[in-house]
Chains A and B, each alone.
Chain A
Amino acid sequence: MPEIDPTEHEISDLGPKVNQVEDADELREMLELEESGEDRTPVKTLIESRIETLEAEDEEPEDAGAVDLSEKTAADVGNLIRDIDEVEELEALLEQEESGENRDSVKRLVQQRIDSVQGSDDDGEEEEILPPEEAHPELDHPTADKKHVRALEDGEYRDMWVYCETQHGELLDVSKEMLGKARELMDGYNEDYDEEEKVVAVVIGDEAESIAEETVAYGADLAVFYEDERLGRFRHKPYAEVYCDMARGAGHPYGREDRPEADWHDYDEPRYAIFPATHNGRDLSALVQAELDSGLASDCSDLYIENEVISNPVKTGAKDKVEFERVLHMPRPDFSGFEYSTILCLDSPRREFHPQGASVIPGKFELPDPDPEREGEVVEHSFDLDESWLDVEVTDHDRLEGGVDLTDHEVVVCVGRGIDRDPTEGIELGVELSETFDDGAFGLTRGVITSSFQFDGHVEQYTGEDRQIGESGQEVEPTLYIAAGVSGAIQHKVGCEESDTIVAINTDEHADIRDWSDYYIHGDLFDVLPAFTEAVESGSVDAALQNFGAVPAGGGDDD
């Protein structure tokens, strides 16, 4: 009689119990019990597979080469290979997995083990370093056309460079946010490491000098700018060339030969480089970091500088653990922000990766207040553009229309679904009233925009989504807001409740809008609006309100 009678257990409890049984005969007895009892297929499968596992173990104990990986979970494999020190044996396992289940998780585990076994075998002995194309001729090399590496050997790196993007001659907010963050980071850095490294603002464009001066107020110690009227719009080739020329110090092995020495740039390349994760910033950051042969963490949501202990042999060489200093930590969201990865850009034993580069999501850092008293140096960069970099010409450009702006007017007239009896006339009457005021605008509720009302051609320009007032449209706060035939749903209220005075015109005395308007006129908008227009034309709003027997409504005391 086996210790466990499977028929007395739920399937869910049996898994762990069965897997603890070490005797195949006992398992066979259990199988018989199940067959003569409940006869549940999953239970039988469970027991059978345990029997098979045990028998396989019995046949070939401890010989990993004979292990059938397909029967093992990734966790089992992890345990199994912990005791294997032979690279060949591990490689055999890797091959088996590749030709079998080919699970990434398993391959990764085995490969990690291989790496760590090999790492400890090295014992300081120098391995011959071959370019990847020669080391692994059997692999496809999609980057084979990149024939050389431009990384430095024993390069000198200093400062944090901030690329300050502009538009229409103004610094973007994200540029200011990055300058503020860079200031904070480098103040901490200089204190922690007892250094005097700078925040360097980079400005490229047709009016770069004045903007470069402005960057100082936001935290730059030094602004380097390149001004050329041909660079009024972003074009990636010349912008990237200019940036890289700025970044490489005099005597840089891959820089231009006539690069003059500069006191402020007594190093080879920037230590850190940050860019905005805007359309143009992403474009430029990728080109620049590739040209400087470093990495890039794109779309980062935070930055901080810390030392980091690393055990990955790719980075540490043969050693177990190495502490990397002054590491820029670059957290970025993955999978629509569900997970965060922190990206580090670390030198390898045989190759340097600088600048440590990131692009930063706009709005993630606080927008600093400018300090006009701050002092800093502004340096013009001189460099000749190659005509061929400008082959791509911007022949035309258009600034997207913001649509109708209802937000900055003295008076806004809004009509709602109360116009349903004659929608075209309703629009006409509303527009007419809005035009009576010197600074009046005309808007609609979402209810009208999503209705199936048929409008005549001449009022169609007034019935678009760009005139919607409310939560999903524009939020307005005029001195006077006149809402005709508007019931006052909460989503609409959000869009206009900050108005100084709200006048509601409605046939329904119980309409919600009455609760939050200052005056309520009980009446049909088709009668009230034209008369209201006339009264405003010949007198004043107050007079008009009195004419219509407007009564103070619920919201009257909030101002």
Chain B
Amino acid sequence: MTEDANDSAAVRTDGGESTMSEHEHYEAIVVGCGPGGAAAAAALAENDVETLVLERGVDAGSKNVSGGLIYAEEAAPYTIDDLFPDFREEATERPAEEYKMHNVSGNKVASFDLEEIHHGGTEWCDAVLRREMDSWLADRVHERTRETGGGLLTDVRVNGLLREGGEIVGVTCDELDPITADVIVAADGVNSELARDAGLMNWDEPEDWFQGVKAVVDMDRETIEERFDLDGPDDGAAHLFSGDLFEGVRGGGFLYTNEDSLSIGTVFHLDSIAEERAEPQDLLDALLTHPLLDQWFQGEYEELEYSAKLVPDSKKVANPSPHSGRLLLVGDAAGQMQAQGPIIKGMNHAVSAGGLAAEAFQDAKTRGDPTLAGDLYEQKLEGEGVMDQLRPTRYEATSWLSESSIATSIGSAVMNSPIGRFGVKTFDGLLEKSFNSPFVLGMIPDTKISYVTVPTVIGDVLGEPVSADNEIEPPDLADRIGDLTYDVGDPHIEVLDNSYEASGTAVTACPVSAEDFGGGCYRSETVESNGSKERVVSLDTQPCVECGTCAVVADTHWEHPAGGKGVEFKQG
């Protein structure tokens, strides 16, 4: 681009005299360039909508973590490779061809094949590392949105909504002047500040969230193919783990094969982590050091990256009406993350939602009234069946029963009684079948029975003992933190009530903090003032991985760091 200094705006005067209404304007602003934002931006650009994409990371993907499987479903209105041809060749790791679930009880393990449910309705499913994937998407998004007169800007944190006369008209940023738009697609992730600004999401209940913690482990491609028995680079495996290896905390573990690394992680109900005062990094280590994993590590372990994120439980928080005025929420920002039993699907729904949001805006424009976009988007989510997957009616119908603790303890008692155990043995084949049934999975209650008791009993009764010694030593928290690079800038989290009662849970639940560890975000301290001792927490945001856990379990004012600041994931 060339322009003339003497008759262009190159001489900028930042006198602050400009009137409020003279903002830079785009037809569409997309906040966040993960899969949801990228899909929305690509679909908008396809329709020649002038689209500006704002991303707070130094690079798209530098803030993004996922367990690591992206699905393309046959029935989905949009899939990522529809919108971005060559996606699988260029941006993904290995396909998850093999899909197994391991029920663990002590050293006994019973393994089920879940390929039926995994492959059913699935066009393809690949493991991904988000830094690579998202930055690849971002390059394409930038190219396409530039043609519309917009483009993608990194290092820009959108910090809120711009309103005029009470109406949402644009966004405000840390780094740029406010920008207005006809439509704002908030794809700013699980801790979406825009969704909260608009009152569409909150951080109130630990029950509404899962917390995922992940380690990316170095392993060269030949070794992976040999140890996982894969047929070359276009073959891969996915393994799930549940049972008693997590000290009774509700959740499970996963392992996916990448091209030349493994993604291994755990996902737990946040309320369970909070109640049990569990240390997420210890739960991850419990998985990593289980004898079952020795067949793959064989004594070698080099961790490339430790990461964490919150996962919305779409059954409870997927907002059925994720829009307000010109603002449309997409993906995690709208709670669109499907986690039912062993199935975890999020990115595919974000892609569908992004495409539908763009389509809704285009339809609204065609009808001559862009303000209809939100309502049309809601209809499309409903009409395309996205909402039913996220909030299955079956779950809504049975939730009153399955979530009551009386039912849990009865169920638990039955499972542990000789009759229940006998039942497991008798229905061996049937159990595997029922795990493969989307109908049954849709009803699975989020209680200890399904996550801990059933798999433990299955493992105990049906399992074969694993005799290997897994002697690897995962790095301690200080080393994990030390390996991540930080330039956090000003503290972006403020503890509003630092008493241990109000905010102490963060010391254990935060994945980079622990009791008796002084190098984490949250530390528990005893201070003496005026002769009386008091237990309080202190906070140093430097090691923060921006997962949002403390926003839910502690009393904080939580924001993201400014653009380009804070944690930078190299794997993601």
- Bind each other: yes
| A interface residue numbers (CB < 8 A to B) | 10-12, 15, 41-42, 45, 49, 73-75, 103-105, 286, 289, 294-298, 308, 312, 314-315, 330, 332, 335-346, 348, 353, 356-357, 416-417, 420, 446-447, 450-454, 471-472, 487, 489-491, 512
- B93 contacts chain A at the CB level, 8 A cutoff: no
Query: Which B residues are CB-close (under 8 A) to A512?
Result: 478-479
Known: A103-B50, A330-B5. 5 other contacts (CB 8 A): A41-B379, A105-B50, A298-B10, A336-B563, A341-B3
Query: Which A residues are CB-close (under 8 A) to B5?
Result: 294-297, 330, 343-345, 353, 356-357
Residue of B12, B153, B488 touching A298 (CB-CB under 8 A): B12
Residue of B11, B478, B518 touching A286 (CB-CB under 8 A): B11
Query: Which A residues are CB-close (under 8 A) to B3?
Result: 341, 343-344
**Also in contact, A420 and B10, with CB within 8 A (given A336-B176, A344-B4, A487-B478):** no
Are A454 and B529 interface neighbours, CB within 8 A?
yes
Are A447 and B4 interface neighbours, CB within 8 A?
no
Query: Which A residues are CB-close (under 8 A) to B46?
Result: 15
Query: Which A residues are CB-close (under 8 A) to B380?
Result: 42
**Also in contact, A12 and B82, with CB within 8 A (given A74-B48, A489-B482, A489-B519):** yes
Query: Which B residues are CB-close (under 8 A) to A15?
Result: 46
Query: Which A residues are CB-close (under 8 A) to B486?
Result: 471, 491
Are B528 and A454 interface neighbours, CB within 8 A?
yes
- B571 contacts chain A at the CB level, 8 A cutoff: no
Query: Which A residues are CB-close (under 8 A) to B12?
Result: 298
A and B contact pairs by CB, cutoff 8 A, 9 listed: A12-B78, A73-B48, A104-B149, A295-B4, A295-B7, A314-B4, A336-B563, A341-B2, A452-B527
Residue of A45, A295, A337, A417 touching B11 (CB-CB under 8 A): A295
Are B518 and A297 interface neighbours, CB within 8 A?
no
What is the distance, in angstroms, from A357's C-beta to the closest C-beta of chain B? 8
Query: Which B residues are CB-close (under 8 A) to A103?
Result: 50
Residue of B nearest to A73 (CB): B48
| B interface residue numbers (CB < 8 A to A) | 1-8, 10-12, 46, 48, 50, 77-78, 82-83, 149, 151-156, 175-176, 355, 359, 363, 366-367, 379-380, 383, 478-479, 481-483, 486-488, 498, 518-519, 523, 525-529, 536-540, 542, 563
Are A447 and B518 interface neighbours, CB within 8 A?
yes
Residue of B48, B50, B519 touching A447 (CB-CB under 8 A): B519
- Cα A297 to Cα B5 in complex, Å, equals 6
Query: Which B residues are CB-close (under 8 A) to A489?
Result: 478, 481-482, 519
Are B4 and A346 interface neighbours, CB within 8 A?
yes
Query: Which A residues are CB-close (under 8 A) to B77?
Result: 11
Are A451 and B525 interface neighbours, CB within 8 A?
yes
Are A491 and B10 interface neighbours, CB within 8 A?
no
Are B10 and A296 interface neighbours, CB within 8 A?
yes
- Cα A341 to Cα B2 in complex, Å, equals 6
Residue of B nearest to A356 (CB): B5
Residue of B nearest to A453 (CB): B527
What is the distance, in angstroms, from A445's C-beta to the closest C-beta of chain B? 9
**Also in contact, A338 and B482, with CB within 8 A (given A353-B6, A447-B519, A452-B536):** no
Residue of A nearest to B78 (CB): A12
Residue of A336, A342, A490 touching B175 (CB-CB under 8 A): A336
What is the distance, in angstroms, from A94's C-beta to the closest C-beta of chain B? 18
Are A452 and B498 interface neighbours, CB within 8 A?
yes
Query: Which A residues are CB-close (under 8 A) to B6?
Result: 294-295, 345-346, 348, 353
- Cα A12 to Cα B39 in complex, Å, equals 12
Residue of A11, A45, A353, A472 touching B366 (CB-CB under 8 A): A45
Are B11 and A298 interface neighbours, CB within 8 A?
yes
Residue of A nearest to B564 (CB): A336
- Cα A420 to Cα B533 in complex, Å, equals 13
Query: Which A residues are CB-close (under 8 A) to B528?
Result: 454
Query: Which B residues are CB-close (under 8 A) to A289?
Result: 11
Are B154 and A338 interface neighbours, CB within 8 A?
yes
What is the distance, in angstroms, from B472's C-beta to the closest C-beta of chain A? 19
What is the distance, in angstroms, from B89's C-beta to the closest C-beta of chain A? 19
What is the distance, in angstroms, from A380's C-beta to the closest C-beta of chain B? 32
What is the distance, in angstroms, from A234's C-beta to the closest C-beta of chain B? 19
Query: Which A residues are CB-close (under 8 A) to B538?
Result: 450-453
Residue of B7, B48, B154, B527 touching A314 (CB-CB under 8 A): B7
Residue of A nearest to B13 (CB): A286
Residue of B2, B156, B363, B537 touching A336 (CB-CB under 8 A): B156
Residue of B nearest to A334 (CB): B1
Query: Which B residues are CB-close (under 8 A) to A45?
Result: 363, 366-367
- Cα A490 to Cα B519 in complex, Å, equals 10
- Cα A340 to Cα B151 in complex, Å, equals 13
Query: Which A residues are CB-close (under 8 A) to B78?
Result: 12
Residue of B176, B359, B482 touching A491 (CB-CB under 8 A): B482
- Cα A11 to Cα B527 in complex, Å, equals 64
Residue of B10, B481, B519, B523 touching A297 (CB-CB under 8 A): B10
Query: Which B residues are CB-close (under 8 A) to A315?
Result: 4
